[in-house]
Structure 1
Amino acid sequence: MISRICTKCGVEKELEGGFYKRKSQRGGFATECKDCRINAAKAAYRKNPQATKDRVRKWQADNPEAKKRYYKSKSDAYKKRAREWVALNPEKRKAIAKQSASRRREDYLPRRKALSRVRRIADLEKAREAGRMHAARRRSRLRESGIDIEFEQWRAIADFSDTCLYCGKLADKIVIDHFFPVSRGGPTEPGNLVPACQPCNSRKSDKHPDDWLRSIGHCAIRSDGSLTIREFLSATRKAFCPEKPPLVEAMFPAVKIVEV
Structure 2
Amino acid sequence: MDASSPPDRRTIVATIRDYVEQLREEGMEGLPASASPTPRATPAASAPASIKPDAAPIPSELFSKYPGLEKTSTLDELREFIGDCQRCKLAPRRTNLVFGVGNPNAQLMFVGEGPGADEDARGEPFVGRAGQLLTDIIERGMGISRADVYICNVIKCRPPDNRNPEPDEVAACEPFLFRQIDIVRPRAIVGLGTFAVQAVLKVKIPISKLRGNWQDFRGIRFMPTFHPAYLLRTPGDKRLVWADIQEVMKYLGMPIPRRGGSAS
Which has the bigger relative contact order, CA under 8 A and spacing at least 6?
2
Shared fold (TM-score, shorter chain, > 0.5): no
TM-score, length-normalised on structure 1? 0.25
- Whichever of the two has the greater Rg, that structure is 1
- The answer to which structure has the higher helix fraction is 1
